[in-house]
Structures are given as structure tokens and as C-alpha cells.
Structure 1
Amino acid sequence: MTGLRIELRRSTALWAGLLVLVSGTGMLLLVMTSNVRWSGNSTSAVLSLRLPLAYVWALVVGLAVFQGMRDSRSRVTELFAATSRPGWVRLGTLAAAVAGVVAVATAVLCAGLVANVALGGGFVSIGFVPLMVTVVLALASSVLLGLAVGRLLPHPLTVPVALVGTFMVATTAGRALEARSPGDEIPRLALLAPVLDPPSSDLVTTSTSVDLGQIVWFTGLGVTAFLLLVARTNLGRLTALVPAGLAVALALSIMPAKYSDVLVSDSIASRLVCDGEVCVSQAHEDKLPAVAAAGRAALAKLAVLPDAPKEIREDTSAMAHLTAPQRDQRIVYLPSQGYPRPLTMTEDQLRLEFLAGGGVATCAEPNSFNTYEGVVRYVTAGYFNGELVQLASEPLMWNNGRLRTEIDQAWQRFREQPAQEQLNRVAQARRMLLTCEDSERVLGVLKDGR
């Protein structure tokens, strides 16, 4: 313990821990925006660390490499080699000090995020634990590797090369994990880096296979790094590579190959809680009273339709940021993502969202825009509401002069029809939306009945 206390004072251990806390917090505040509800769920809060980790990871590795060069800079390598005390004891104490402080600082950072969620009234569950373990192992094993590299390659350029190289690996891995559809294949090697840009959802986490694969990999990397640090012979250094080789082989066999298997729904946070026929995720249970009131009012209006929907459920799909919203004849789905977020809307705005499309969501993929669908949503919502009003999800159409004219013209032509014909047209439009038929044809049915 005396040696450990000495290393805590003499080494960069405490500075490394402070670096993790300050840079992690600073980068998290810098890269996160107000529309990302990472503070609503403890799991998504810890997952949000994966994006700024690209910077923190590089800084920590660079500092560890600098620390690993201490003996060479002080020109005491031969002196320590000649002492009776085993080298692995002294180097092991240094490794325990630096890696231990970094691990504790990382755990404190994660715990701080969880505490922030709890104090803010967010949802807290044990789902964050695997994510925290992975991040702690990633940084601790990377510190050990940095110490080994610094000791083996005591050159002035080693620190900047290690820092820049780590950052390039992190950013390259992050780009490799970007996908445009759930079925996109992703390189398994990219999952060996602890960097990920999660979607703006508080109902998503990494899959068990990703967590397990990364834990295996970073554990093996840590063992190899420590053995490299204390090895004195070339044979010993070659033997030290075995744990990392076995770990990477096992990890790659566990890692998924498709993007839809990387991010999955948080099984705890996305569990549905219901008030009668209206259900939301457990993470959003505080919104249930407002959603239930709006939902019952909407279902009462939609009851005039043939085969009218009977339930309202929040869409907790992990791939909601890449695919069109779910649709079901009996269910009106409440999107958990999008801007503005439906759960932040007023009760009256939510009711209109449920009524738009006759209770059927758009067929357009996220971050895309379809004028015809927008007009259809306005006309159908206006039918059940009795008049045209702005939809909170489509403010641009309402405030754009040309698009507003299209909405008004379609509304006038629709309202010229008898009441029964209006109902028939809305019912037909709803059936077409359920199968995602061409949106121009759907609008034609509302305006012309064909």
C-alpha cells in the first residue's frame, strides 16, 4: 500500500482521473443538444458517453503513454533492472495506480450521470450497469496499453502518434457504425472500439452480444497490455499477445453483423404500462395521464370508422429513427422519436396527432418530407376535429404560403361532399395508408373520391 500511495503522488494517476472527469463532462455537454433526451433514462444517459468517448479515449491513452516513458526520460531503466526487487512489482504498482484511478473516475462519471437522471425525475434501472462496466474496462485497459507502449517505445513522437492514432481509430469506428437502414451490415472490427453515436431516443441500448463481446475484448486487451508492460524478453512480449488474440477472436464471434442487432430496445425502459386502452413505455410513465386523456378522446372520434382502432401504444422500436413508423389496423402508434417529440406536446396537440391519417402514421421514413402525405394528414385531422388547425408535427406546411394553399384547396374540395361521402373517403384513405399506397393517390381519394 505504501508503494501505491507513492505512485499516486509521483505518477500522473490523479491527473488522468481528473482528465476523465473534466473532459468527459465537458465533451458530453458540448456534443449533446437540448432535443436529445439522454437525461430521461439512466441507460441512455450512460450510453450517451459513447460519443464523446472518442476524445476522452485519445487523451487518456496519450497521457498513459507519456507516463510509461517515465523511466526512459529519467534514464533509470538500467538502474531499476539491476535491483533485486522484481520489475513486475514496481510496474504493477504503477499500473494499478494509473489504471485504478482512471477506472474509478470513469465509474464516478457514469454514476454522476445516473444521479443526474434520478434527481431530475427520470427513469432509473439496472440497464446502465453493462454499459458502465464496458466503458470502465475500455478506459482502464487502454491506460495499461498506453503504459506498455510508452515503456517499449520511449521516443518523443510516441505520445502524439498514440494520441492521434487512437482518435483516428475512434472516429473511423464511429463512421463505420453509421447506417441508413436496419439491415445494413456493419464491420465487426468497428465494435472493438468503445465509440458509438446512439440515436436521440431514451428507449435504446446496446445488445447483449455487443456488451459481452466488448467486455471480453477489453479484458483480454488489459491482460495483454499488463504482460507487455512487465515483460523483459522478446519471447515474453510475444507470449503476452496471446490473451488479446484469443479475446479478439472470441469477441468477433460474438459481435453482431447487422446494425439492427447492435442497438435494441431497452427491455426495462420500453416495457409498456397502460391506463385502459392507452399504453406508454415505463420510462415515460409520468406522461401517461396526458396521453390517456388525449388518446381516449381520439379513439372516441375514430370510432365512426369501419374497423376502427381500439388501442393506443407508444412505438418503442429501436430502429424507429431509420424506418417508417409502425402501423396496425387495431392500434394507433405514438412515436417516441421525432421533432418535436410527441410526448412534449399538449393534450390537444396529441389528440390531433392521433386523428391525423385516421389513426395511421406516415409512410415516409424519418428525416424525409412528403407533401402529399402532409396534406392528407391535415385533411383527415380536420375532418375529425371539425376544422383545419395546425399539426404540431407539420408546422412548416402550415406556415408555408404555397403548401398552406394546397391544404386549403384540398380541404375545400373534400368539404363540398356529403357527410357520408366524406366518411367513406377518410375510411378509404386510412385503408390505403395502412398498406402504404402511393400518397398522391391517397390525396386523390380525399379530393376526388378516386
Structure 2
Amino acid sequence: MTPRHRLVLALACTAQFMVVLDVSVVNVALPSVQADLGVAPADLQWIVNAYALAFGGLLLLGGRLADLCGLRRTVLGGLALFTLASLAGGLAADPGTLIAARAFQGLGAAVLAPATLTVLTTTFDEDLRPRVLAAWTAVGLAGGTAGNLIGGVLTDALSWRWILLINVPVGALALLPTRLLPNSRHPHGRLDVPGAVLATAGVASLTYGIARDWNIPALAFGVAALAAFTVLQSRSQTPLLPLHLFRIRPVAAGNVTMLLAGACLNPMWYFLTLSMQNVMHYSPLQTGLGFLPHTLLTMAVALHVTPRLMKRTDDRTLITIGALTAAAGFLWQSRLAPGDGYLAGILGPAILISAGAGLLNTPLTKAVTSNVPAKDAGAASGLMNTTKQTGAALGLAALVTLTTTYGHAFTALAVLLLVAAVSARALPSARRRPHRTISRRGCGPGLGR
């Protein structure tokens, strides 16, 4: 891998880190934000949800944008929007401005996340792809797990505003290597904005309906919007989500497993944060530091163990083992009690949860983007990220509504991962994997155009 290749990989990983980090970085800082801006208790959740809903709901649009407008323009535009929105949020003087900035951050993230994956799947050839996907996955996992730590450190040392302002210099530096990205695009067609609105409204309504004690009108509207979205996609000449992707077995089965994994591995940070502060009585900074082993172990497994195993074991076996390992960790975590120390109460379960997450994420990412035509690579990447974020939003809403204790929530996460392990068996084995159709562009030719 040449220095230019490393710059492209660094760009993709930096953008992915920023996107995933901002899903969780505000959690520890919410009390400080509330005190500084006078946010009403009922509105506090929207500082988190504005980002998550815009991100998850518009990911399909972002994925298609890369196909139609080209990777260079898409990454450049997404990075610029995300960076400017971070600046606006960090300087916000009232809750409305902050919530709006978080929504625009989510829009920038929805453009960036699928584009960074498409950079890797269409630029690097099959020999290098497992390595770069492992790095991209590990950095994304690190962003999610480090959010609470970084949020706690910045809030205690500087101000809550720096959890957003820190993105400005990082985003500005990440803009520099965008010139190395290819300009190739598939200009025929148009962006399906009505489809994006229906998909976003559908997911948001379902999430709202579940969170409001299964509000029937909201749930009905969400189902209707998603049904209308499906009909619209089936009739569109340039669909936001090409429905023929679901005829590809790894894409269909992989996204079911991704939905279940997203419903577990993202909401767990919410319950772990509350468990540490309300059961073990940790401070925000101590809580952030408590997540450090999760971050380091997940990255170590994803970067150094999983790529080696992928050379010898098929994807579905690794996904199954990873899901079962993490499920065992959640069962252990469900036994947390006030008298437990850090080693038995947090670190022990963290070893199993982090090892399982690091083991399943890279092969699952590879599976859901396998055997996809090059012209649909951006849509497939957007679908994968949408599935993960949709699972996270619906999973958290359902768990908060249905469970009454943290122990019950962790038990439910374990059950969901057991179902994910079963669903992974629907993926094709290595011996039966269909012929690859994504163009095998070498690293060199794809970078300078």
C-alpha cells in the first residue's frame, strides 16, 4: 500500500470516526448543556435524536448521492456540511439552534457514511479489501465506544461546546485528501427526494410511536409511510433503494442480521452509561474512562484477529461466533448489582461483548456489500448503514418501553443477539458464494482520476 493509498484510507476512516463518534459523544455532556442553555427536560432527548433520526433516515439518499454525483463531490460536500454544522452547534446560544445544528450534522453524516464505505469497496481490490474494511470497521467501532470517554474528558476539562467544536479542525484537515478520490459517477437518473422523505418519516414515526408507549396513530403512520416508500421504489426508474438488491442473498440475509446487531450493539451504550452512573454511582468522567477497555479490545479484535480469521473461516461462521460471544457478555452484564466492583461488574462482561462485536462486524459489513453491481455500490452501502441505524433507533425505543430494569434490558440484548446468530446462518457459505460482480479496480488506477 503506497502513501497515496494510506491517505485515502485515512480519509475514509477519519470521516467514519467523526460520524459514529457524534452519535454518542453528547450523552455524558447533556446535564451541562441543559444547565448552560436552559433546555427543558422534555426537549433534552432531541439533542440526541435530531442527529440519529436525520442520520438514519437520510442514509439511503446519501448512498445514492455517491452513485449519481461521484465520490469526490459527495465526500467533499458531506465533510463540509458536517464540519460547518459542528461549528454552529458548538457556538449555539439557545436549544433550538443546537438541535437544528445536530440535525444538519446528521444530514452530513448520512452523506458521508455510505460514501466512505463505497470509497473502499470500489477503489481497493479483493486482496486489500479485507484489510481496509477491517480498519474502517474498527475505527467506526472505536468512534462509537470512545464517544462517552471523549465527551466526559472534553466536558470536564474544557466545556460541553468542545464535543462539537473538536470536529472543526479534524474536518478541515480531512478535506485535503479528497482530491485523491475518483470522479467516476453514474449520472443517469435523479435523486429520489420524495422517497427519502417517506423513509425518514416512516422510521421517525415508528420510533416515536414505540417510545410513546406504542402510540397507535404514530405507528400506523410509520407503517403507511414505509409501505408508500416501497411502492414508490418499485415504480421508480432511478430508485433510492433498488429493490432488486434484496434478490442478492448476502444482501438480504446480511441486512436482517445487521438490523438485529444494530438493535443491540448501539443501544447498549445507553444502558451501560446509566448503569455505571445510577447503579455504581460513577461520575461522568469515571463513566467515560470505564468504557476504555471496550474501545481498546474491540479495536484489537477487529484489526488484528478478525482479518486473519477471515482468511480461514467463512463470514457466516465468524458472525455467528461473534454474536454468541457478545450474547454471553450481555447475560453476564445483566447480573450487575450495586455491590459489584469494576472488574466483575463491567470489565468481565466487556471482554465478551467487545470480543464478539469485533469479531462479527467486519465479516457482516463484507457480507452485506458482496456481489453488488458497481452501479449500486453506493445504494448497498447506504442500505447497510440505514439498517444499522434503524435497528439502533427502534431497538432503543423498544427496550426503554418494554424493560423495567437495566438487568432486563441486557437480557433482552442477549436474546436479540441469539436471534442474530440464527439469522446469520442464512448467509451463503464460502463454498457456495456466488460470482462477484463488483468491478475489481486496483488501488493505483482508481485514485488519481
On whether the aligned pair clears a TM of 0.5, the verdict is: no
Q: TM-score, normalised by structure 2?
A: 0.28
Larger Rg: 1
TM-score by length of 1: 0.28
Higher strand share: 1
